Amino acid sequence: MTPTRTTDRLARLVPLAALALGALLRAAPASADVAGACDSPPCSRTELESYERRVVKHLLHAQQARFEADARGERKVVKHYDREFQRAQQRRAEARRALENAR
């Protein structure tokens, strides 16, 4: 079976996406506002770590959905997941900063 144009394109994008995600996850955070990380601030280190894990899981889901939609050629869906990915990336950066500042 010969690969289709879409699968070939997706196969080239996946390693690039993984590399980009790795770089993004190491980026310096812009602000340290982690609203929603815990019920009763100040948040404990355990609560912040749990929040960060949830955000990272969501970040990966949004990125995967974005690339799949791009491979299908669904531009509106790509734009939606791109915004979702950006918000999740920002929340993760804020969680990292809060973790660094936690006792």
Is residue 59 in a domain? yes
Model pLDDT, residue 69: 96
Is residue 83 in a domain? yes
- In which residue are the tokens 């144009």 written? 5
Is residue 31 in a domain? no
CB burial of 50-69 (b: ≥16 within 10 Å; e: otherwise) equals ebbebbbebbeebbebbbeb
Amino acid residing at 91 = R
The string of pLDDT tens digits covering residues 72-100 is: 999 999 999 999 999 999 999 999 999 99
Q: CA 72 to CA 90: how far, in whole Å? A: 27
Is residue 36 in a domain? no
Model pLDDT, residue 64: 96
Is residue 63 in a domain? yes
The string of pLDDT tens digits covering residues 26-67 is: 544 433 457 677 777 778 888 899 999 999 999 999 999 999
Full residue range of the structural domain in which residue 69 is found:
42-103
pTM of the prediction? 0.62
Q: In 3D, which of 53, 59, 50, 52 has the Cα closest to residue 84?
A: 59
Model pLDDT, residue 74: 96
Q: CA 27 to CA 39: how far, in whole Å? A: 27
Query: Quick one: pLDDT band at residue 13, thresholds 50, 70, 90?
Result: low
Q: In 3D, which of 69, 63, 78, 71 has the Cα closest to residue 21?
A: 63
Is residue 87 in a domain? yes
Is residue 27 in a domain? no
More confident residue, 27 or 5: 5
Is residue 33 in a domain? no
Number of domains making up the chain: 1
First and final C-alpha spacing in the chain:
56
